[in-house]
Amino acid sequence: DAAFRLMAGGRHTGKVIVAFADPFVVRTGEPPRAPFAVRPDAAYLITGGLGGFGRVLSEWLVENGARHLVLTSRSGASTPEATALLDRLRTAGVTATVVRADIGSPDDTTRLINEVRALPVPLKGVFHLAMVIDDAPLAALTADRFRSVMAPKALGAWLLHERTLDLDLDCFVLFSSVSSIFGNPAQGNYAAANAFLDSLAHHRRALGKPALAINWGVLGGEGYVARNERVAEYLARQGTAALTPREVTTLMEGFLAAHTPQAAAIRVDWAKWRQSFRGMQENPLVERIFAAGIEVQESGGGGNDWRGRIQAASPEERDDVIIQAVRDVVGSVLRVKPESLRADQPLTDLGLDSLMGVEIENLIESSIGVALPPTSLMRARTIGQIASLIGEHLGGSTTTPAAPAPAAEPAPVAATEVDIEALSDEDIDSLLGDAPAGGSDRSGVGASR
């Protein structure tokens, strides 16, 4: 579609070439591998198999001929959705074995694989979907919160790998996330767990074993995001939209057919995404994506150009404009009218949580052009305090200074530390312009980084 849009727009010179991505091209001299196929005389194990996408994956396997499924869950078939799935599978003539197990437990995983080995058909495929999400800014993560996310995803994957090394599997599929590629605010533990899955896939391929880690974006229709409307709205404002269950299974089929160890699938509005993640522009992968011809139209100048308004404001108006900008950002995140927010009102009283805090941080960066350090933003409890941080970051104060008392000698310039990388050329010129005549003292721009 990108190639046809380029051609229709008449902006190209010469031919437009459409080619297969490298992972889908057979190397010269490399014999083609046998195509992946679901077998009716084999068993397929799905961890997290009774969850949202576990159910989608089960039905996809059955559509493709599977007749023996092993589904794991920590709580067993305890929900109406799980019971309905089992009824549908059994009606279709499928043998569905439910094993209650914590995949992050070595004992449970050993027991699980022993039960699978006892089946009358061989295990030929493993699909690892089990996960726990516990989002929080990095500074708020504890060892227990990190462990609770790593155990089912990362440790569980490793235990499955170890316990099945002697088996002749056709596939070993790991549901990873784009969070391990691009990162994601407040998901340090989840991104780390998925990064382990990515590395495990390559490790298995180096051992000559089948492996596929898929870095999914937003999975819609079923699963965690579909059950959490606020998370879905947050991701949509960042520019990432959902893949449908049918798209997920179709993409997975292609990845399995290509025998690639790792692939990513994400539906993204790059213009919104670029605005939301300005600090990621120097990421080599992001640079390569945009260099490859992704068309991005920067959102311009409309009602959210608060940086321009702040710079154009007089010294007397500047404080009020900054507070209006912060009200606008906070109001859009909290879904309230900006004018109803007081500058001294604690945001926690309005239901602010860590995810909303990250969104406020991103919107401040995209609409005001100020990247506040996360630790300083966490300390700010009111709109007024956030505005003060922005004012300090822009090289001023959000309180009108009192008239200076007369003095015989000029007061020394106070030294402050400024994050130079976060400043624009105009900010630096402004700061340097405040230095004493002759430029002998430029301590207003600290050398500390």
Strand ranges in 313-430 using DSSP code E only, listed in sequence order: none
Handedness of CA 143, 147, 150, 155 (dihedral sign): positive
First to last CA, the chain: 44
Beta-strand relationship, 123-128 and 267-268: unpaired
Helix, strand, coil distribution of the chain in percent, nearest 5:
50, 10, 40
CB 160 within 8 A of CB 126: yes
What pLDDT sits at residue 77? 81
What pLDDT sits at residue 299? 41
SS3 127: strand
Instruction: Give start and end residues of each alpha helix (H) in 28-105.
Output: 52-63, 80-91
CA 155 to chain centre: 21
CB 161 within 8 A of CB 206: no
What pLDDT sits at residue 151? 95
Give strand pairing partners of 172.
Answer: 126
Tokens of 53: 């996408």
Tokens of 266: 């994400």
Return per-residue pLDDT of the chain as tens, 449 residues. Answer: 777 777 777 777 888 888 877 766 767 776 767 788 999 999 999 999 988 889 999 999 999 999 999 999 988 887 888 899 999 999 999 999 999 999 999 999 999 999 999 999 999 999 999 999 888 888 888 999 999 999 999 999 999 999 999 999 999 999 999 989 888 778 889 999 999 999 999 999 999 999 999 999 888 876 666 666 666 677 777 778 888 899 999 999 999 998 999 999 988 887 777 766 666 666 777 777 776 655 554 444 334 567 777 877 788 788 888 888 888 888 877 777 888 888 887 877 777 776 677 778 777 877 777 777 666 666 677 888 888 888 887 765 554 333 344 444 444 444 455 555 566 666 666 665 544 444 444 333 333 33
What pLDDT sits at residue 354? 67
Element (H, E) at 144: helix 143-150
In terms of Cα–Cα distance, which of 172, 208, 201, 176 is closest to 190?
A: 176
The answer to whether the predicted template modeling score (pTM) of the entire model surpasses 0.85 is no
